[in-house]
Amino acid sequence: MAVSLRGRRGGSSNAGIPTASTGDIAFLILIFFMSTSMFAKEKGLKIVLPEPTPPGAEPAVKIPPQNLLNVDVNPQGQVQVSLASEPEKAEFVSVPQLREVLVGRLAANKDLVISFRVSRRAPYRVMIDVFDQLKLAKAERVSLVHVPLLEEGGGP
Amino acid sequence: MSRIAARRQSQSEIPTASTGDIAFLLIIFFLVGTTFRAAQGLKVVLPNAISTERILKKRNVQNLWVDKAGRISVNDNLVAVPTVTPILVEKIVENPDVVVVLQADKDVPYGYVTDVLEALKAARALKVTFATNYEMGGGG
């Protein structure tokens, strides 16, 4: 009798769930998640669009032409910079030089607003390159001009 | 003397009891840090930009693709420009802080992009990000 009791006791001391492999199981799940999941790589250039204006309405803010700098991109992807008050002094600027030109212009006039107008036929890449330069030059007030299809026929 | 030496030897083991906890911690990190892609989108080659910034709040992102041929895709549906506005109006009602990420191909004519921007403006989806890749260096 006493022997059999001892035998039972010995049995109960062995009845535990083995936990030695939890680490291995966890690593297995970890490897599964690492191999199946992708990190969302959302990155880019931020812009806040203006409020929509009803068609035919006057623009809310009028900017004097001496404070308005036109940055135009033509269908060939060339960039032209000119003050709205002196359009005859327009100069072609290469994209890498643009940053310096803009920094100089912004230093000369603190109230400068940039009107960024891109041709419908210019490649998007050029627009991003120029927009990048505007960001690098710390140009805060940039207006992205929409060129309607009718104004520039033949394009997309 | 010999006893002390034996005890020291028995203690010199790396404790492995916490590996499971460490692994679970890593699992939780990966679960929280990853988001499964909702939409497949179109095949685009993004342009490069030096001043590329990360978008921190991934939950508010609405992707919009414009491929090389000018096709527009939202939520894996090919749509025309006039359809973009009602779709985005719905999204804005659901979540006013939505950020539209415009994944446009670097060779698409800008006309397609500006039309999409006008459609976004009409839907009052005013927070827009042009998706770009990082570019190293300061020259451009």
The rounded distance, in Å, linking the Cα atoms of A55 and B1 is 97
Geometric angle at alpha carbon B111, from B140 and A139, rounded to 5°: 40
Extract the tokens encoding B24: 């679970």
Domain A65-149: CATH architecture, name and number where available? 2-Layer Sandwich (3.30)
Is the CB of A147 less than 8 angstroms away from the CB of B52?
no
Extract the tokens encoding B84: 């973009």
The alpha-carbon gap from B43 to the nearest alpha carbon of chain A, in Å, equals 16
The rounded distance, in Å, linking the Cα atoms of B98 and B91 is 7
Chain A environment of B48 (Cβ under 8 Å): 128
pLDDT tens-place string over residues B49-64: 998 888 777 678 888 9
Is the CB of A127 less than 8 angstroms away from the CB of B113?
yes
Any idea what DSSP says for residue B105? -
In terms of phi and psi (left: phi > 0; alpha: psi -120 to 50; beta: otherwise), the region of A5 is alpha
Topology adopted by domain B48-134: Nucleotidyltransferase; domain 5 (3.30.420)
The rounded distance, in Å, linking the Cα atoms of A78 and B86 is 35
Chain B environment of A144 (Cβ under 8 Å): 114, 117
Is the CB of B111 less than 8 angstroms away from the CB of A50?
no
Residue boundaries of the structural domains of chain A: 65-149
Contacts of A34 (CB under 8 A, 6+ apart): B30
pLDDT tens-place string over residues B76-122: 889 998 999 999 999 999 998 899 999 999 999 999 999 999 999 99
In chain A (156 residues long), the average pLDDT of successive 10-residue segments reads 48 72 83 76 85 72 84 89 82 87 87 89 91 88 82 59
Chain A environment of B49 (Cβ under 8 Å): 44-45, 128-129, 131-132, 135
Name the residue among B34, B47, B51 with its Cβ closest to that of A135. Answer: B51
Lowest mean pLDDT segment, chosen from A112-126, B21-35, B119-133: B21-35
The alpha-carbon gap from A108 to the nearest alpha carbon of chain B, in Å, equals 23
Is the CB of A128 less than 8 angstroms away from the CB of B49?
yes
Nearest chain B residue (CA) to A29: B27
Residues 125-154 of A with CB under 8 A from B: 125-129, 131-133, 135-136, 144, 146-147, 149, 152
Residue boundaries of the structural domains of chain B: 2-33, 48-134
Q: Could you give the 3-state DSSP secondary structure of residue B48?
A: strand
Average predicted confidence (pLDDT) for chain B: 83
The rounded distance, in Å, linking the Cα atoms of A143 and B62 is 23
The rounded distance, in Å, linking the Cα atoms of A30 and A126 is 43
Contact status, residue B54 vs residue A42, Cβ threshold 8 Å = yes
Pairing verdict, β B48-49 and B133-134: parallel
Chain A environment of B115 (Cβ under 8 Å): 149
The rounded distance, in Å, linking the Cα atoms of B16 and A23 is 9
Nearest chain A residue (CA) to B102: A44
ipTM of model: 0.71
Contact status, residue A91 vs residue A136, Cβ threshold 8 Å = no
